């Protein structure tokens, strides 16, 4: 990890909003590996207490979601790849509530998009993955889970909704990241080194123990 980046991380950790609690935002495209990175960070933060807040839980009900027009299907369908697809006020209020762990991990592809959510974070992370690899992972995941229709349906959704949403809203949010963690290649040396250094710094900053009393 470059010395300048280490110094910036040290400064951010020292300036955290709550001396005994830290909020990390973890953003990136669908299929980038956010959940994998989140799990690795959580594991390496032990014995600190952590809570993962998965922002997907704040998607609007299907009948309230914005729509996109699919030329492949010739009809309108729910759009999960626009910032308007989440219950933003409810999400921010939940993430703002009194901490229930020493580290809160806010995991979601739009986590770095909303200014009011970024304002709650002490450290912002973007999981950087090549777009084609993200789409490949996403397609394999959805086919395995039986979600999103057959292979052609998933490819059409990727092309008509996922890619435009990523390029318009998610990729630009990497500008707000304090740290980018690459998650592209089979060789995970750089990824693992960044996570190890980050978690060591957090562990050294936050002493294991109970969260602060109200």
Number of domains in the chain: 1
8 A C-beta contact, residue 126 and residue 180: yes
- The per-residue pLDDT for 214 is 55
How confident is the model over 13-40, as pLDDT tens digits? Answer: 999 988 889 999 999 999 999 999 999 9
Task: Give the chain's residues under pLDDT 50.
Answer: none
| CA dist list (Å): 46 to 22, 94, 103, 129, 189 | 14, 24, 10, 26, 21
**CATH no. for residue 129?**
3.40.50.300
Q: Which two tokens stand for residue 209?
A: 């123990």
Residue 210 lies in a domain: no
Cα gap 58→90, rounded to integer Å: 7
Report the alpha-carbon distance of residue 58 to residue 192 in Å, rounded.
Answer: 30
Residue 65 lies in a domain: yes
The closest of 107, 108, 105 to 85, measured between CA atoms, is 108
Q: Does residue 10 sit within a domain?
A: yes
Cis peptide before 47 (omega within 30 of 0): yes
Q: What is the pLDDT of residue 147?
A: 77
Task: Let me know if residue 214 belongs to a domain.
Answer: no
pLDDT at 197: 92
Residue 67, both tokens: 């729509």
Six-digit token string for 88:
């933003």
Q: What would the two tokens of residue 42 be?
A: 């959580």
| Residue 17, domain member (yes or no) | yes
pLDDT value of position 164: 95
Within a domain: 19: yes
Q: Give domain status of residue 212, yes or no.
A: no
State residue 110's pLDDT score: 96
* pTM check: above 0.85: yes
Place of tokens 């318009």: 168
Over the stretch 85-111, which tens digit does the pLDDT of each residue have? 999 999 999 999 888 899 999 999 999
The rounded Cα 67 to chain-centroid distance in angstroms is 23
Q: Are strands 67-70 and 75-78 parallel, antiparallel or unpaired?
A: antiparallel
By C-alpha distance, which of 201, 209, 182 is closest to 44?
201
Question: What domain range is 68 assigned to?
Answer: 3-205
Is 39 part of any domain?
A: yes
């Amino acid at each position: 990890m470059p010395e300048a980046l280490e110094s910036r991380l040290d400064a951010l950790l020292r300036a955290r909003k709550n001396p005994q609690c830290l909020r990390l935002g973890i953003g990136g495209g669908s299929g980038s590996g956010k959940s994998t990175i989140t799990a690795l960070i959580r594991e390496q933060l032990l014995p600190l207490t952590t809570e993962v807040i998965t922002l997907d839980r704040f998607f609007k009900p299907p009948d309230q979601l914005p729509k996109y027009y699919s030329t492949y299907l010739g009809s309108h369908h729910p759009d999960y790849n626009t910032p308007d697809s989440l219950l933003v006020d409810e999400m921010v209020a939940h993430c703002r509530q009194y901490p229930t762990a020493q580290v809160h991990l806010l995991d979601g592809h739009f986590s770095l998009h909303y200014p009011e959510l970024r304002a709650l974070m002490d450290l912002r992370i973007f999981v950087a993955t090549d777009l084609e690899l993200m789409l490949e992972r996403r397609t394999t995941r959805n086919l395995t889970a039986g979600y999103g229709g057959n292979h052609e349906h998933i490819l059409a959704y990727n092309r008509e909704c996922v890619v435009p949403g990523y390029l318009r809203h998610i990729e630009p949010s990497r500008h707000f990241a304090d740290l980018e963690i690459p998650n592209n290649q089979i060789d995970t040396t750089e990824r693992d080194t960044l996570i190890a250094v980050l978690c060591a710094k957090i562990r050294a900053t936050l002493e294991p123990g109970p969260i602060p009393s109200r």
